[in-house]
Amino acid sequence: MKILILGAGAIGGYVGGRLHQSGADVTFLVRDKRNEALTRDGLVIKSTKGDITQKVKTVTKATDGGPYDIVLLTCKAYDLDSAIDAIAPAIGAGTTIVPLLNGMRHIDVLATKFGDAKVVGGLARVGVAMNGKGEILHTSPFAAISFGERGAAPARPALVALDAAIKKSGVDGGLNANIVQDLWDKWIMLCTLAATCCLMRGASGDILEADEGQAIVLETVDEGRKVAAAAGHDPGEKGLATIRSFLTVKGSKFTASMLHDLEKGAMVEADHVVGDMIARARKAGIATPNLRMAYAHLQVYLAQRARKRA
């Protein structure tokens, strides 16, 4: 089974590196500059689960080295359009695309472009970052990806094979029969965290110090829940309880990565993580006053950023 990974950033680099290390046939599709660095220095992973520097297969065009059975997409949501252009030549009749992006909108975009059947659901849970030297720094105790069919059908052979490769690589997770619900649950959590941390410019615990911080966080969870329910994916009481307890830990230093990006002046997944939730809410006639406020905050930031870069 041939696996193409778009990008060798934090998640793609870590997961692809572990797959390669354990003998899977992995190719990284990267830009020229990253290709030079990887060819010269190898892929460097520094991890709580062991450091490794290894030579990996790279291509700079998706026409090279294919056809691929699996294409793993680990780009940021705002790079989706260019990612689609980049992978398009690698997609053959038997290719399965496994996107590991936040939110849901990318699934519709990919399905429209490549056909519904080629796109499965995927979810990453890896506490990983890339430093200025292009090294992958995996600092958290967990590293998991899960994936599965979006419909009720049993997993296709390519996903079964990917599951086996993932298990062999030491990355946690694998096949997930419940992937779409899990994507919604994660999105509700992420959307709330990103919206509230950015709107309030603080860590989870800072917000909870404010008189109404917890109430605002819980209302925001509820806005996401209603949108999910309207799409037929209510997380249910148990799923909700998990999300709520995660977001209401007093003193928590937990912070949305979007806030870190924002304070660095970097691009943010505002439209994908928050804007799309609002758009779905509007369509379903659901009021989302908290998300609206947060999205306005993010739009102010994006307008300022665009002006600075102009």
Partner 1 sequence: MKILILGAGAVGGYWGARLHQSGADVTFLLREKRAEKVRKDGLVVKSPKGDAVVPAKVVTKGSEGGPYDIVVLACKAYDLDSAMDSIAPAVGSGTTIVPMLNGHAHFATLDAKFGAARVAGGLARISGMLGPNGEILHSGASGVSFGERDGKPARASLVELEAACKKAGIEGGINANINQDLWDKWIMLATIAGMCSSMRGTVGDIMETEDGEAIVLETLDESCKVATAEGHAPSDKVLAGLRTMLTAKGSKAVASILGDMEKGGAAEGKQIVGDMLGRARKHGIAAPNLRFAYTHLQTYEARRARGGLK
Residues that bind partner 1 (CB under 8 A): 199-203, 205-207, 209-213, 216, 253, 255, 259-260, 263, 289-290, 292-293, 295-297, 299-301, 303-304
CA distance 284 to 226: 9
In angstroms, what CA-CA distances link 21 with 24, 55, 143, 270? 7, 10, 15, 35
Considering the complex, state which of residue 238 and residue 264 has its C-beta at the smaller distance from partner 1: 264
CA distance 34 to 37: 5
CA distance 287 to 219: 11
CB of 145 to partner 1, least distance (A): 28
Catalytic, out of 57, 186, 226, 283: 186
Helix then strand then coil, in percent of the chain rounded to 5, is 55, 20, 30
CB of 304 to partner 1, least distance (A): 6
CB of 205 to partner 1, least distance (A): 8
CB of 288 to partner 1, least distance (A): 11
Q: Is 226 a catalytic residue?
A: no
Helix or strand or coil: residue 49? coil
Residue 112, token pair as written in the block: 């429209």
Torsion angles phi and psi, residue 125, rounded to 5:
-140, 85
**CB distance 234 to 251 below 8 Å:** no
Which residues are known to be catalytic? 186
